[in-house]
């Protein structure tokens, strides 16, 4: 296959950072992925925003189309009041993607993620004979994949894709089961531009951090409950717990942390953090807390590997496999606040320096340049008949 074949790639995505709070948390790694991809091809980003706009940045063009509401992840098909915003979003995304395909040559479309981005990619592919690929997230499969009508659309979109990827190992198997096509593991990671290795702590007190959405799936409510189970002796081994993010559980998390503070526990809440602030938090922390109820491989996992921050995690998704093979932290035995509390207590008696070898292995596994190289190699191997 001619290595010069790939000249223009469209990334159609619902996650790309803009000025709205929390958008960077959702799309920061997509931005880094696009930058790395632009070293090899012309890249056009098509993403929703509250206003129509277009900007150019080196070899990347960013086209934003206006939608009624953001974030799209909070739109629920089960709610009749959400039907009109959903319909308008579907139409606007489809129009924006079709417009680009009709005005200039496009060699490949990569949808991030299966729905609605994959729906837009399939529509354009049918009309202009452009091959498309889908990079699926757990929310595509675990949430949308359970709604009867949407499940049928999801299956069709995945089945007709020329290339399938998932950001989890177990998730890739689920995508294969739905689509009956091969799905490769493509980890989601961002480039934190770490220049120097941090000095890892070898004795308590330790600094603990949570970074992510304040959502039930992410288990941040479990986290604050587990902090309540810690005793005075445990807290003597903790410098501070910082909980960063925002989302549907904001009121609960703020009130729960206030109660902890009233008990003289060193707990601080932070809002959404941009990439640089997130990097600083992880460089500050000795342990990163991942209390998720459901998970594939969160982006903060690879963030932690780059910053050499040990993990305290729930036994969900691919985390048990990674924790065992890489040895980068402590894992809870079950998904519960008591079990997570026990994992924190074990970590407070385990120096993070114990995990330094695992960090180096993990950084190679989650290398952004390697991820993009593998993706391009896959695309170049798509049979010619699929590309016509």
Instruction: Tell me: pLDDT of 29 over 90.
Output: no
What is residue 16's predicted lDDT score, i.e. its pLDDT?
A: 87
Instruction: Tell me: pLDDT of 80 over 90.
Output: no
Average pLDDT over residues 140-165: 85
Q: What is the DSSP letter of 202?
A: S
What is residue 245's predicted lDDT score, i.e. its pLDDT?
A: 95
Instruction: Tell me: pLDDT of 300 over 70.
Output: yes
Domain boundaries, the chain: 8-189+367-386, 206-365
Give percent of the chain above pLDDT 70: 94
Residue 140: pLDDT band by 50, 70, 90 thresholds? confident
Residue 109: pLDDT band by 50, 70, 90 thresholds? very high
What is residue 365's predicted lDDT score, i.e. its pLDDT?
A: 87
Provide the total of helices (H) and of strands (E) in the chain, helices listed first.
Answer: 15, 14
What is residue 388's predicted lDDT score, i.e. its pLDDT?
A: 38
Instruction: Tell me: pLDDT of 24 over 50.
Output: no
Q: Helix H segments across 180-289?
A: 220-229, 232-235, 250-262, 275-284
What is residue 1's predicted lDDT score, i.e. its pLDDT?
A: 38
- What gap in Å lies between CA 2 and CA 137, rounded to an integer? 31
Is 206-365 a CATH 3.40.50.2000 domain? yes
Long-range CB contacts (within 8 A, 24+) of 313-319: 313/343, 314/219, 314/222, 314/290, 314/340, 316/292, 317/138, 317/168, 317/170, 317/171, 317/292, 318/168, 318/169, 318/170, 318/171, 319/290, 319/292, 319/295
What is residue 387's predicted lDDT score, i.e. its pLDDT?
A: 47
- What gap in Å lies between CA 202 and CA 355, rounded to an integer? 11
DSSP string, 118-167: HHHHHHHHHHH---EEEEE-HHHHHTGGGSHHHHHHHHHHHHT-SEEEES
CA distance to 285, 329, 333, 342, 355, per residue, from 312 (Å): 12, 6, 11, 10, 12
Q: Which of 67-76, 124-133, 210-219, 220-229 has the lowest mean pLDDT?
A: 67-76
Is 8-189+367-386 a CATH 3.40.50.620 domain? no
Question: 3-state DSSP helix/strand/coil percent for the chain, to nearest 5?
Answer: 45, 20, 35
Helix 319-326 to helix 356-365 angle (10° resolution) is 120
Query: Residues 327-347: pLDDT tens digits?
Result: 999 999 999 999 999 999 999
What is residue 6's predicted lDDT score, i.e. its pLDDT?
A: 63
Average pLDDT over residues 232-260: 97
Instruction: Report the DSSP pairing between strands 108-112 and 60-66.
Output: unpaired
Q: Find the helix or strand (DSSP H, E) in which 217 lies.
A: none
User: In the predicted model, what is the mean pLDDT of the chain?
Assistant: 89
Confidence (pTM): 0.84
Instruction: Tell me: pLDDT of 36 over 90.
Output: yes
Average pLDDT over residues 40-63: 90
Q: Find the helix or strand (DSSP H, E) in which 28 lies.
A: helix 23-37
Q: What is the DSSP letter of 265?
A: -
């Amino acid at each position: 296959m001619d290595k010069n074949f790939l000249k223009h790639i469209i990334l159609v995505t619902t996650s790309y950072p803009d000025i709205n709070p929390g958008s960077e948390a959702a799309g920061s790694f997509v931005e880094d992925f696009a930058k790395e991809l632009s070293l090899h091809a012309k890249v056009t980003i098509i993403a929703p925003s509250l206003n129509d706009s277009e900007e150019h940045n080196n070899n990347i063009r960013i086209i934003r189309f206006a939608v009624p509401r953001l974030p799209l992840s909070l739109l629920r098909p089960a709610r009749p009041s959400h039907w009109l915003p959903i319909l308008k979003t579907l139409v606007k995304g489809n129009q924006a993607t079709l417009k680009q395909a009709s005005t200039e040559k496009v060699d490949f479309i990569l949808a991030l993620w299966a729905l609605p981005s994959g729906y837009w990619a399939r529509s354009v592919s049918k009309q202009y004979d452009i091959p498309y690929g889908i990079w699926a997230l757990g929310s595509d499969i675990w949430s949308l994949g359970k709604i009867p009508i949407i499940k049928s659309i999801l299956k069709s979109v995945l089945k007709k894709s020329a290339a399938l990827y998932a950001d989890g190992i177990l998730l890739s198997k689920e995508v294969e089961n739905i689509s009956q096509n091969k799905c490769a593991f493509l980890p989601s990671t961002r480039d934190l531009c770490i220049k120097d290795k941090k000095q890892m702590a070898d004795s308590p007190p330790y600094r603990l951090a949570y970074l992510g959405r304040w959502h039930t799936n992410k288990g941040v409510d479990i986290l604050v409950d587990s902090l309540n189970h810690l005793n005075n002796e445990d807290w003597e081994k903790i410098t501070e717990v910082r909980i960063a993010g925002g989302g549907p559980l904001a009121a609960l998390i703020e009130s729960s942390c206030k109660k902890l503070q009233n008990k003289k526990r060193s707990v601080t809440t932070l809002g959404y953090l941009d990439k640089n602030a997130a990097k600083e938090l992880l460089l500050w922390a000795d342990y990163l807390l991942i209390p998720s109820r459901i998970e594939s491989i969160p982006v903060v996992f690879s963030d932690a590997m780059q910053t050499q921050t040990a993990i305290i995690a729930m036994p969900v998704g691919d985390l048990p496999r990674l924790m065992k093979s890489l040895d980068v932290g402590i894992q809870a035995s079950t998904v519960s606040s008591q079990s997570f509390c026990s994992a924190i207590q074990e970590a407070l008696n385990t120096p993070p320096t114990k995990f330094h070898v695992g960090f180096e292995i993990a950084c190679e596994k989650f290398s952004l340049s390697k991820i993009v190289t593998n993706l391009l190699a896959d695309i170049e191997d798509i049979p010619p008949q699929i590309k016509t």
